[in-house]
Homo-oligomer: A and B are copies of this chain.
């Protein structure tokens, strides 16, 4: 089938569950429900890969070492961009190559999303101006500082205002399931959550 590509940005000190949650959701979504459909990619609507500035192993928070599939120079077209958070985002707020890459790839993407403090990078790259958005509960003030025009919705788990942003860490799972629902309907999203034994959280 014609798959949409999901590009998940990796960087040093990215929070593990921030990228692993959406990775799990998008890579395990199948249009045909159940277990057997997940043993092949036949009804997989997404092709998921990781991307980082270089091909060097990324050291996530806690020390987990992940090998990116692509670097900025070689990454295929990204339809859905996922920008996770973590303490590593703080240093990236002044990293022109990374911010420029996010701005460029996000502008060409069909949908731009973030998890947790990944929204700080989207804000810095200009995607959240005048929009409703959220972030980790510990970074609400910082998000408003990066771009004071953002209407921060700290009481919501997923905020959809063109861009999809999510609250902290585990909320990225709900954000990804919401993307699945928006593209393939509630039954497909619910089946993916059921496969993951994940009780979805609404609002």
Contact = CB atoms under 8 A, between A and B. Distances in A.
A118 interface: no
A111 to B, nearest CB: 19
A48 B63 contact: yes
Interface string A176-201: 00000000000000000001111101
A75 interface: no
A136 B195 CA distance: 9
Contact of A170 (B39, B63, B173): B173
Contacts of A199: 201
A95 to B, nearest CB: 19
B168 A24 contact: no
A170 B157 contact: no
A137 interface: yes
Contact of A62 (B21, B48, B137, B169): B48
Q: What is the copy number of this chain in the assembly?
A: 2
Contacts of A87: 39
Contact of A63 (B17, B27, B169): B27
A148 interface: no
A118 B15 CA distance: 24
14 contacts: A17-B20, A17-B21, A20-B64, A24-B62, A27-B61, A27-B62, A27-B63, A28-B61, A65-B66, A66-B67, A67-B67, A116-B197, A168-B196, A170-B197
Interface of A: 15-17, 20-21, 23-24, 27-28, 35, 39, 48-50, 57, 61-67, 69, 87, 116, 136-138, 157, 167-171, 173, 195-199, 201
Given A20-B20, A169-B196, 6 more contacts: A16-B24, A16-B27, A17-B20, A20-B24, A157-B197, A170-B197
Q: Which 6 A-B pairs have the closest CB atoms?
A: A27-B62, A168-B197, A20-B20, A17-B24, A65-B67, A170-B198
